[in-house]
Structure 1
Amino acid sequence: MIGTRRNILAGTAAAALVATTRGAFAQQETVTIGWTGPLSGGAALYGKNTLTGLEMSAKEINDSGGVQIGGKPHKIAVVGLDDKYSPSEAAVNAKRLRAQYKAPVVFCPHSGGNFAMQAFNEQDGFLIGAYTSVPQMTERGNKLTFRIPPSFAGYIDPFIKTTMGSFGKKLGMAGADHDYAKAWAALMKPAWTKAGGTVVAENAMSYNKDTDFYSGVSRVMAGNPDVLFVGGASEPTALVIKQARELGFQGGFMIMDQAKLDEIAHVLGGYQQLEGAMGVLPTVFDPRPGTQEFVGRFRKAYNRDPGSEAAYNYAALNAVSEAMKLAGTTSDAAKILAKLTEAFKSLPPGRNPAHITEVDERGGSNVRLSLAYVKGGKIVPVDAATGNLMN
């Protein structure tokens, strides 16, 4: 009888605990953050990496009790939709995320999708979280756009100085054919010639659809270039580089920032075929404490190394949640954007592994560029200001 009574009391206590927990969750409101990007096709890994950064941030925020907005705790929910790297599908997804989920922010990791959303996001009242370094993204006057990475314009001069000085003045352009790669090419070509070089061949390729790049790379190799400009998502970029080496190319590479050296090396089985390549410093080689703290937590959570896509998007959502808290709103996109600089400055280094210092009046982030060069089969940091190797 006593044992039965104890069981009843224990059951009652457990039921009370469950009821209390449910009550706490019931009082916690939810803010849905939208994401549209490629989860299929050649850029699927790239898209997933950006989405994972957002999801990691949301989980940590929720595990810590959510974010206090207007005196109430809020959970962060991330809803991601596949757009297959298509600008038109990105626009459709954004409309759905806003209408169905009331998303105050929609993140997108490709310039075509972000430009498509800029046609209506101000009218619809949502903030674009643009993971693209195209400088025009924040130069068109859209008042509700946040460009997450720094403008790629800062990469051009150090890329040229390092590779032209090491290999020669003849450039072959074998980048991708999507909008982002075209924007890169539009700055790279005149800058190369201004520096005294010659563009000997041009052939943009469909990195997101093709898997065989023999004919496309062969056309560029016919110009006998000293340096190749390449880049799209990391996996197809690796295949382009592999094809160039198989065709006898001995020169250097300038790799646009969408492709990551460590991810390319993973596909190629090491850095040997990347000798003389210039690109963005991989996150795992960034020595700054906040970045390495993030790398450790990411490895523990996902059992793999993070790329800069994950780091930047992780930092961005942490800042957006803090900006909502500072602005006291989950719905006013203009007020959220206005608080982003203060939000980034308030984040501890481990929650801002991208080291974004501020967001300018046009919505562009300010970040110190981190570049790398492959020498002797190893990653060597490069001074972005001078283009000189740092060791």
Structure 2
Amino acid sequence: MALWKHLVQAASAITLAAAFTSVASAQETVNIGYTGPLSGGAALYGKNTLVGLEMAAKEINEAGGFEVGGKKYKFNIVALDDKYSPSEAAVNAKRLKSQNNTPMVFTPHSGGAFAIQAFNEQDNFILGAYTSVPNMTERGNKLTLRIPPSFAGYVQPFINVEMKAFGKKLAMAGGDHDYAKAWAQLFGPAWKQAGGEIVAENPMSYNKDTDFYSGVSRVLAANPDVLFVGGASEPTALVAKQARELGFKGGFVVMDQAKLDEMAAVVGGMDMLEGSVGVLPLIYDKRPGTEAFIAKFKKLYDRNPGTEASYHYSTLNAVSEAMKLAGTVSDPKAIHAKLSEAYGKLPPERNPARITSVDDRGGTNANIVVGMVKNGKVETIEAASLGQ
């Protein structure tokens, strides 16, 4: 009888200890939210952004987590599908905060980010917005992190490259969607301020059309030296191809939504993109930290990473450092205040996006490099060398 009583007490103690261990384990896990397109036409883009967070979390967790206030913590990425819908992104963000107590929620589209900005300060979580739209951080939201640098940083380097190589006559043939309009509103005046001339303007429906013959013919009739193009990679490539088939010999300014390597895959190589300037594809970035990231990514996923993955990988690493510096995993304001310092402390292998700091409005700064297609290959150009 005494032995039975002892066994029952021991079992109870083990059960109680397991319960406490389970609670302690839950307390040592930090949930990080993600809402993005994981189904539908933009699913590949959404998965390319999510994988950067998952890769960083996996590395941090397998290294034993990170220590804050004497406790070890690990990350758990909680991802929800919003099908690229701003309203769905807002609903998901609310759910991630209320059900998973996430101090930060990432979203890879400006529509979703703007929708979430309506309440993230009130609900007390950091919005990790993957968009380069400048006014994302000009609205006074104190808990927003704009992950990529503003696309404004590309404007002057692009102008310097193309104007020097091809001439001063520009035709505007970008998309007619909001993001392309924002680019055009900034790029056109800057081109003229640099001494150039805009000889034609004809925005096109990159998201709907597949035949760009009439639109491209219209702008080429003005005999431009340079074409401004841009939307998603596939239609942008088709616009460039149509221009070449119509005899255009000049250069292309490719806004950052399109990627030179993805465009080349559509048109069968870089030859048709000769003279194009755009964001440097990650696979051509030979800086040590970035090369190490590409190698690790290819080993894990058997494919090349995109820019989206590198920016999210860098940012979750910075979030872990910011939590250490702030001494908290649960106070978004304190964590946000330490993000700039955190990025600056990351070694190159944990910061392949090369983000250097965060400005006082929540926008990142980075060492921008651009890519130009020369002789069928992508050449890397430091933006600073162009007098940005």
TM-score grouping bracket, smaller chain normalisation: 0.7 to 0.9
Shift of 1:57: 0.8
Question: In structure 2, what is the equivalent of residue 92 of structure 1?
Answer: 91
Question: In structure 2, what is the equivalent of residue 375 of structure 1?
Answer: 374
CA RMSD of aligned residues (A): 2.6
Residues 233-254 of structure 1 deviation map (CA, whole Å, 9 limit, x = unaligned)? 3333323323333343322111
* Percent of aligned positions that are identical: 69
Change (3 A) 1:249 1:81: farther
For residue 346 of structure 1, what is the amino acid of its counterpart?
Answer: K
Shift of 1:326: 2.5
Residues 360-385 of structure 1 deviation map (CA, whole Å, 9 limit, x = unaligned)? 22112121111111110011122313
Residues 171-209 of structure 1 deviation map (CA, whole Å, 9 limit, x = unaligned)? 222323333322211100111122232323333344445
Q: Distance in 2 between matches of 1:230 and 1:158?
A: 16
Q: Are residue 365 (structure 1) and residue 337 (structure 2) matched? A: no
Question: In structure 1, what is the equivalent of residue 287 of structure 2?
Answer: 288
Q: Distance in 1 between matches of 2:379 and 2:333?
A: 41
Question: In structure 1, what is the equivalent of residue 82 of structure 2?
Answer: 83
Q: Distance in 1 between matches of 2:93 and 2:213?
A: 37
Paired residue secondary structure (1:143): coil
Shift of 1:323: 1.3
Give the TM-score normalised by structure 1. 0.86
Change (3 A) 1:243 1:378: same
Question: In structure 2, what is the equivalent of residue 269 of structure 1?
Answer: 268
Shift of 1:78: 1.9
Residues 106-155 of structure 1 deviation map (CA, whole Å, 9 limit, x = unaligned)? 11222232222222111111111122222222222110111112222121
Question: In structure 1, what is the equivalent of residue 195 of structure 2?
Answer: 196
Paired residue secondary structure (1:357): strand
Mark the runs of 5 or more structure 1 residues left unpaired by the alignment.
1-15
Paired residue secondary structure (1:33): strand
Question: In structure 2, what is the equivalent of residue 134 of structure 1?
Answer: 133
Change (3 A) 1:77 1:243: farther
Paired residue secondary structure (1:372): strand
Change (3 A) 1:332 1:255: same
Question: In structure 1, what is the equivalent of residue 339 of structure 2?
Answer: 340
Question: In structure 2, what is the equivalent of residue 151 of structure 1?
Answer: 150
Shift of 1:231: 2.0
For residue 321 of structure 1, what is the amino acid of its counterpart?
Answer: S
Q: Distance in 2 between matches of 1:333 and 1:30?
A: 16
Mark the runs of 5 or more structure 2 residues left unpaired by the alignment.
1-13
For residue 357 of structure 2, what is the amino acid of its counterpart?
Answer: E
Select between 352-361 and 203-212 the one with higher mean Cα deviation: 203-212
For residue 161 of structure 1, what is the amino acid of its counterpart?
Answer: N
Paired residue secondary structure (2:317): helix
Q: Distance in 2 between matches of 1:322 and 1:266?
A: 38
Q: Distance in 1 between matches of 2:67 and 2:230?
A: 41
Question: In structure 2, what is the equivalent of residue 74 of structure 1?
Answer: 73
Q: Distance in 2 between matches of 1:215 and 1:127?
A: 45
Question: In structure 2, what is the equivalent of residue 225 of structure 1?
Answer: 224
Equivalenced residues, count: 370
Change (3 A) 1:198 1:137: same
Question: In structure 1, what is the equivalent of residue 25 of structure 2?
Answer: 27
Change (3 A) 1:348 1:320: same
